[in-house]
């Protein structure tokens, strides 16, 4: 029953956190120095237009009432309207979210399929040249400014080698002659599902550079954490016992050590997700990738606060759900987690 208790507690905590997050986002949004009504109607508005906007936006209500109205809107799926595009923000998000998610999943896959094997090998072969080289890679990856790396890669692969495009997600010819059907919103998946191989190749060459740029930080992080996890697991007594019994090294690693290193790896995925998401903001700007990062950056430049707040809230709630899912998954795999 400890596990059931834990799950309930965890769910309750998540709800509490989401409410607190919305309160904080609301407070930040109201700290804005400029009058939201004035920004809404524009610089050449008359006094009565401003008054009308103030009433329409509910700014004349007391603060707690405003918050309740805000929460009510949120629960109906209304994230507000962008000052820039005058469109409901939710609709903008529906367009931009798949692009960012595709980038995030692509780079997280790179981090998992490159970082974990390297980390495991480095951890099991400590103090060899491979270990030292992977330490260098991991520290360099977590120290490198993402925007700088992106620019360097563009310089190399676009300017000098002419191998990859300078940015964007789809080439114009593809939009005109081989349009991608919208099934999941992920170009890489949709093109495969519809057999649109020309568009698939195009989507691939467009996603490689931004994906790699974004992935480097996560690769560095994954290598470092996987390496220390493996080292910790390998120092356990039962590993020593298995080796003393004569089990070959490969079996020791694959069947014993890895299974127990899975739990911290799940934690790592959650961490990697948030770094990928925030790193995507910068990567999308550099590569003009049409996703949420670009959307938020434009909102910063045009002081479109509803957008900034809505995206912050949306991404944070997403992050809370992901953490919740990871915690519940961990409890399912290893009941000992509930006892902590």
Partner 1 sequence: MTSMVERWFGSWARKRKSQWEEYGLMGRAFCRDWLALISLLIILIFILGAIFAPHLTPYPEQGRGEPNIAEKLSPPSREHPLGTDRMGRDGLARILFGGRTSLSIGFLVVAFGIAIGMPLGALAGYFGGWVDMVIMRITDVFLSFPALLLAIAIAAALGPSFTNAMIAMAIVWWPWYTRIVRAQTLSLKERAFIEAARGIGVGNLTIITRHVLPNVTTPVLVQATIDVGAAILTGATMSFLGLGVQPPTPDWGKMVDVGRAYMLIAPWDATFPGLSIFLVALSMNLLGDGIRDVLDPHTRRLG
Q: Which is nearer to partner 1, 145 or 168 (CB)?
A: 145
Q: Is 326:266 a contact under the CB 8 Å cutoff?
A: yes
Return d(Cα 209, Cα 110) in angstroms, integer.
Answer: 12
Q: Which position has the token pair 């596990």? A: 3
Of the two residues 252 and 315, which places its CB atom closer to partner 1 in the complex?
315
Q: Which two tokens stand for residue 131?
A: 């270990």
Q: How far is the CB of 20 from partner 1 (least distance, A)?
A: 4
CA separation for the pair 328, 321 (Å, rounded): 10
Residue number, 36 or 58, with CB nearest to partner 1: 36
At closest approach, how far in Å is the CB of 315 from partner 1? 6
Q: Which is nearer to partner 1, 46 or 235 (CB)?
A: 235
Question: What's the first-to-final CA gap in the chain, in angstroms?
Answer: 14
Q: Specify which residues 88 forms β-bridges with.
A: 81
Q: Return all residues near 134 (Cβ < 8 A) that are at least 6 apart.
A: 118, 119, 121, 122, 223, 227
Residue closer to partner 1 (CB basis): 23 or 175: 23
Helix, strand, or coil here: 171?
coil
Binding site for partner 1 (CB under 8 A): 13, 16-17, 20-21, 24-25, 28-29, 31-33, 139-140, 142-148, 151-152, 154-155, 159, 274, 277-278, 281-282, 285-286, 296-297, 299-301, 303, 305, 308-309, 311-312, 315-316, 319-320, 323
């Amino acid at each position: 029953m400890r596990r059931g208790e834990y799950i309930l507690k965890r769910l309750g905590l998540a709800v509490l956190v989401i409410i607190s997050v919305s309160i904080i986002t609301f407070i930040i949004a109201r700290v804005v120095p400029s009058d939201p009504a004035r920004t809404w109607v524009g610089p050449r508005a008359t006094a009565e237009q401003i008054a009308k906007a103030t009433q329409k936006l509910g700014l004349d209500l007391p603060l707690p009432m405003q918050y309740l109205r805000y929460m009510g809107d949120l629960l109906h799926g209304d994230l507000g309207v962008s000052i820039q595009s005058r469109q409901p923000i939710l609709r903008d998000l529906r367009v931009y979210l798949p692009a960012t998610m595709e980038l995030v999943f692509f780079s997280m896959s790179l981090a998992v399929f490159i970082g974990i094997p390297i980390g495991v090998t480095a951890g099991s072969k400590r103090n060899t040249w491979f270990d030292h080289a992977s330490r260098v890679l991991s520290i360099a990856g977590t120290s490198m400014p993402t925007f700088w790396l992106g620019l360097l890669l563009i310089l190399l692969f676009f300017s000098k080698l002419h191998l990859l495009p300078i940015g964007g997600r789809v080439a114009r010819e593809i939009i005109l002659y081989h349009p991608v059907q919208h099934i999941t919103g992920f170009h890489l998946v949709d093109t495969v599902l519809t057999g649109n191989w020309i568009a698939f190749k195009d989507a691939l060459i467009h996603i490689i550079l931004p994906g790699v740029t974004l992935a480097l930080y996560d690769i560095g992080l994954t290598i470092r954490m996987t390496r220390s996890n493996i080292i910790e697991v390998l120092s356990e007594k039962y590993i020593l016992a298995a080796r003393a019994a004569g089990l070959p090294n490969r079996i020791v690693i694959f069947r014993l050590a890895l299974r127990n290193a899975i739990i911290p790896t799940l934690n790592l995925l959650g961490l990697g997700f948030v770094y990928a998401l925030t790193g995507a903001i910068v990567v999308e700007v550099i590569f003009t990738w049409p996703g949420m990062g670009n959307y938020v950056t434009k909102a910063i430049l045009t002081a479109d606060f509803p957008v900034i707040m809505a995206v912050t809230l949306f991404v944070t709630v997403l992050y809370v759900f992901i953490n919740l899912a990871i915690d519940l998954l961990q409890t399912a795999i290893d009941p000992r987690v509930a006892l902590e």
